[in-house]
Amino acid sequence: MVKCRQVLNILEQWAPRKLAEDWDNPGLLVGSPRQEITKIMTCLDVSDEAVARAEAMGVQLIVAHHPLIFRGIRKIRTDLADGARLQRLLRADIAVIAAHTNLDSAPGGVNDVLARAIGLQDIGGFGEEHEASGVTGTLGRIGYMAEPLTAREFAQQVKGALPCNAVRLVEAGEHAVHKVALCSGSGAEFIGKAALMGADAYVTGDVKYHEAQQARDLGIHLLDAGHFGTEFPIAAVLRDRLAEALAGQDVEVVADDFSRDFFQYV
């Protein structure tokens, strides 16, 4: 058995909260630091299904990537989805911790997991560097494929590496893909920076029409592998990291293996 604060300390050493973006809300969102924990579940989202699974498995702590609460709460309406979810968590005495943009930026976090999954080597930081508690992080990553691929070959490799039903590809010429930049989740705002840094292709999610047009105009191939597809792999890595740090303690750590992308292609 461990205290909730011990899990918070492990996450703080890995991905300090000060690495998070100003608008973000990581940390302990539901529960008490003194809460006793014997079972932890890691996941991408604190969905109704995740809460139901946590209840059924006797979980006392959910560690999620996406914060359950982003902004100040002025009312809790239990007839609406967010309020009902909070009520259910409190009734079941399940605490919730989020590690969001701090874990995106941290070494070994979401973007490093994504970079390794799609086959990048010589991986470095992409974006403005932040430092907190001796940890330096950046939101994105940039690296190289072992061998150059065509844009379509690269798209097939990314699709096969990630939990996504499809990827959207913007081909911006005939050049091969060797140098690749990426940002998990919603990172289309960095398309211009990726092109400026000489990337042949950029991987992210949640791309809009005019952002795709920007990539084509800049001559950089663009792959939209989805918000879920680029971030869901962190759930298993969170489980492994926490299990290793808590080895020898009377606590079990399990990962979400049931969630699926909201978007289906028909």
How much of the chain, in percent, has pLDDT values that exceed 70? Answer: 100
pLDDT band at 152 (very low <50, low <70, confident <90, very high): very high
d(CA 129, CA 46): 29
35 pLDDT more than 90? yes
Residue 51 has pLDDT above 90, yes or no: yes
Tell me the mean pLDDT in the region 50-78: 95
What's the pLDDT tens digit per position in 179-215? 999 999 999 999 999 999 999 999 999 999 999 999 9
Clarify whether residues 158 and 88 are in a common domain.
Answer: no
Specify the pLDDT at position 179. 98
Confidence of residue 129 (pLDDT cuts 50, 70, 90): confident
Residue 128: per-residue pLDDT: 82
Judge whether 260 lies within some domain. Answer: no
Instruction: Give Cα separations from 115 to 57, 155, 187, 215, 226 (angstroms).
Output: 32, 14, 14, 20, 15
Mean pLDDT computed over 16-21: 94
Q: Where are the beta strands (DSSP E) in 152-241?
A: 168-170, 177-186, 201-205, 221-224
Place of tokens 């974006």: 127
Identify the burial level of 118 via C-beta atoms within 10 angstroms of its C-beta, where 0-12 means exposed, 13-18 middle and 19 or more buried.
buried
In a domain, 262, yes or no: no
Q: Evaluate if residue 56 carries a pLDDT over 90.
A: yes
Backbone φ and ψ of 123, nearest 5°: -80, 135
Are 69 and 15 members of one domain? yes
Predicted pLDDT of residue 209:
98
Domain with 85, as residue range(s), is 2-99+231-254
> How many domains are there within the chain?
2
**Do 64 and 148 share a domain, yes or no?**
no
Domain with residue 208: its CATH number is 3.40.1390.30
- The reply to whether 178 and 220 lie within a common domain is yes
Residues 212, 117, single domain; the answer is yes
